[in-house]
Amino acid sequence: MGSTSTKIKLRTSDQKVFEVEKAVAVQSQTIKYIYENGCPDSVIHVHSVSGDILSKILDYCKKHVNSAAGKEDISPEELYEWDANFVKVDQNTLFDLILAANCLKIESLLDLTCQTVANMIKGKRPEEIRTTFNIKNDYTIEAEEAVRRENKWAFDMLGGVGTMVIEELADDTMSKCVTNAKSRVCVIAANQIVMMRSISKLANKKSIDVYKQPQNPTTPRIKESVKQINVGTGFIELFFHFKCKM
Amino acid sequence: MAETSTTTSFINGSSSIASLATDHLFTILLLLPMDSILYFAMTCKKFRYLATSDILWESVCRRDWGNTAVDALKSSFHDDEQRRLIPWITLYKQVSRVDSVCCYKLAEPDPDLILPVPRASHSLNFVSGCLVLFGGGYEGGRDLDDTWAVYIGNNSQNMLKWQKIQTGTPSGRFGHTCVVIENYLVLFGGINERGDRHSDTWLGQVSLHENLGISLSWQLLDVGSTSPPPRGAHAACCISSRKMVIHGGIGLNGVRLDDTWIIELSENRCYGTWHKIVSHPSPPARSGHSLTCISETQTILFGGRGLGYEVLNDIWVLHVTEGYSKWVQIFYELQNIPAGVSLPRVGHSATSIIGGRLLIHGGEDSLRHRKDDFWVLDISHISLEKMHPTRLNSKRMLANKWRRLKPEGYKPGCRSFHRACVDDSGRYLYVFGGMVDGLLQPAEPVGLRFDGELFLVELVLQL
């Protein structure tokens, strides 16, 4: 019984002390190494991590240890959801978590936080990325145009026939799909086929009629409205108001 | 759903992402599709410098093409001063933009040379640096049982000399499949002269000798009591270092099948275990279709002839992870693709080329017109891997890339039921045999004949 409730003391950069179970603390390879190679009774200093961040990290480690050991009845899907909520923090905290996860060598947390940042970049155009991360645009108009032309090959490849799948949605939620401005699009939502007209004709419209194929082929097709259209350079964002339960 | 994570950080007016170490930035960028990396590079000068760095892009190439193809490219540029200095981002661009192929005829007819007889529905594989050919149907019958091999190594354009390895084992057949798992050949099924369908599995291993040339040993694989029903004209491909998947084909009584089976080889490769995959929905029954593995978890099924004898053009992806397999259909519209009406086909070849794409060649349509075209199918923007298994039907950008390639050089004739395989570089395709259009005789309709030529298809990179 004694070994399972061994506690380790951790002192952070701002002099806060945390006492945690060994099983939780050694999720960090760094702490594990120090513990196994040093004096087990003394306090371990985690110099580069603040109290707030360490507190969050210990929450993460505890959740994962308990889930793996079966102490908590939590399914993989629930753990996945918990992780997703864990990283819903402001950017400063997120980047601090990356630094700390790297320094403490907690691989799964590093993967999670890096994937979170990647998700914040994915699907966005440069202007949106700048807004998200408060990046200052230091290009001149000419330079920016030159870079865009240089990379044109990659974005051209995304043109052509586009077929989009929209998430299976709960009733009345908004969904977004982004498509290349040149293509004619056939949209599929939850195995229903939604036909759309040529995208090039959409640019001037305020709303578009989207026809949804119901699951039962004998019922007539439903007309849905696209609530909002944003036209950008080479792309159009369409916001659908979908009632998916048929 | 509108993203909740687009919180901005205006503390001190500075960006915390700027303080991220380069290593971490590269880790994050490597999780992104290529276009997102470039959009990120367009945000500011510093990120352009980092996000277009050669180190990062070599990793992107390795991620998207695999280590084998990248190493093959590196070694082929080894002696070429100019090409060695081409940045990886440029190479990535040129590989992505491949829009033409150049064909070369190989194996000049030499009176002294004994060549494999012209045939179709045989098997052709690239393994251990050699091309290996087995069986097929020919002018005189349907059950060739000869094994031929020719060493290629890295010299793709030398005139090649076929070597007859052996005959008799495995027994004669056509419409069988043969795939390469690591450096083993795994042969399954097929139909013999009398029309019997087979369900035996054979393992072949190539050895290269200094003086004796190539030798190959075929062995019947012990699969225990469970094996798929006998069939021919099915599709198969290798999906991991120990597994092969098969689908459909023509079974007993000429009925087209729609079952999916996976065999897993034991560690010592002495026996295999078959099990059937159950997934709904799954591709309808068919024969003469193709199965091609494009990534660790994704295998593409295309075309074939269905139950009603119609020629198909549907695309299905089999997503296989530990203990979980699922078929997902990829929808697209023929009329949106230039020359798309020619896409339904059977008896085509579909090989995985560099960049995780499919190169489809030849085959015939519902009117039995044979094709000589080259198509590339690119579904790399579907990131099924990163999806949590229960969300496989979730949102994804499907940018189906059907691209027809311009053929240059030698013009191979229209053909179907030929076989093709690609070498380690992923840029050179070897094609052998098939049924081709015959010569017009005044008194006869356009006939067909078996072809026996070997030709090479090179993906042209503009470097």
Distance from chain centroid for Cα A50: 24
Q: Chain A residue with minimal CA distance to B9?
A: A91
**Whether residue B396 has pLDDT greater than 50:** no
Which has more pLDDT, B462 or B240? B240
Check residues B393 and A139 and name the one with the higher pLDDT.
Answer: A139
Smallest Cβ–Cβ distance between B45 and the set A125, A133, A139 belongs to A139
* Residue B8 pLDDT > 80: no
Q: How far is CA A246 from the centre of its chain?
A: 29
- pLDDT above 90: percentage of residues in chain B: 53
Q: Which residue of A lies nearest to B389 if distances are taken between CA atoms?
A: A77
CA angle B117, B120, B123 (to 5 degrees): 95
Lowest mean pLDDT segment, chosen from A55-64, A214-223, B156-165, B241-250: A214-223
Band (pLDDT 50/70/90 cuts) for residue B125 is very high
Residue B82: per-residue pLDDT: 81
At B440 the pLDDT is: 57
**Could you tell me which chain B residue has the CA closest to the CA of A176?**
B1
- β B123-127/B130-138 pair status: antiparallel
Chain A and chain B share a number of CB contacts under 8 A equal to: 181
CA dihedral B385, B388, B391, B392 (to 10 degrees): 20
Task: Inform me whether the C-beta atom of residue A77 falls under 8 Å from chain B C-beta atoms.
Answer: yes
Kindly tell me if the per-residue pLDDT of B402 is higher than 80.
yes
Residue B170 preceded by cis peptide, ω within 30: yes
Nearest to A138 among B21, B45, B394 (CB): B45
3 state SS of B61: helix
Interface contact B401-A157, CB threshold 8 A: yes
Write down the mean pLDDT value for chain B. 85
Element holding A93 (H helix, E strand): helix A91-103
- Residue A160: the pLDDT is 32
Query: What is the tens place of the pLDDT at every residue in B61-119?
Result: 999 888 988 998 888 888 788 888 899 999 999 998 888 999 998 866 666 778 899 99
- Tell which wins on pLDDT, B392 or B269: B269
More confident residue, B463 or B94: B94
**Separation of CA B194 from chain center:** 31
Tokens of B264: 């897993």
Residue B72, phi-psi category: left (phi > 0), alpha (psi -120 to 50), beta (remainder): alpha
CA distance B228 to B307: 19
pLDDT tens-digit series, residues B300-358? 999 999 998 999 999 999 988 877 888 888 777 776 677 878 889 999 999 999 988 99
| Separation in Å, CA of A197 to nearest CA in chain B | 12
Kindly compute the dihedral angle of the four CA atoms of residues A233, A234, A239, A245, in this order, to the nearest 10 degrees: -170
Are B294 and B300 in contact by the 8 Å Cβ rule? The answer is: yes
What would the pLDDT profile of B405-421 be if each residue is shown by its tens digit?
999 998 888 999 999 99
CB-closest option in B15, B27, B330 to A135: B15
pTM (two decimals): 0.77
**What type of residue sits at position B103?**
C
Per-residue pLDDT at A95: 93
Q: pLDDT (tens digit, 0 to 9) for every residue of chain A, 246 residues total?
A: 445 578 888 999 888 999 999 889 989 999 888 888 877 677 888 888 899 999 999 999 999 998 888 877 888 888 888 999 999 999 989 999 999 999 999 999 999 999 999 989 987 888 889 999 999 999 988 888 888 888 888 776 554 333 333 333 333 333 444 444 333 343 433 333 333 444 434 444 444 444 444 444 444 444 444 444 444 433 334 444 433 322
Q: Do B8 and A131 touch (CB under 8 A)?
A: yes
The confidence score (pLDDT) of residue A128 equals 87
The model's confidence at residue B287, banded by pLDDT at 50, 70 and 90, is very high
Ranking A92-96, A147-151, B145-149, B361-365 by mean pLDDT, the lowest is A147-151
d(CA B456, CA B149) in angstroms, rounded, equals 16
Cα B217 from Cα B183, distance rounded (Å): 13
pLDDT (average), residues B421-447: 79
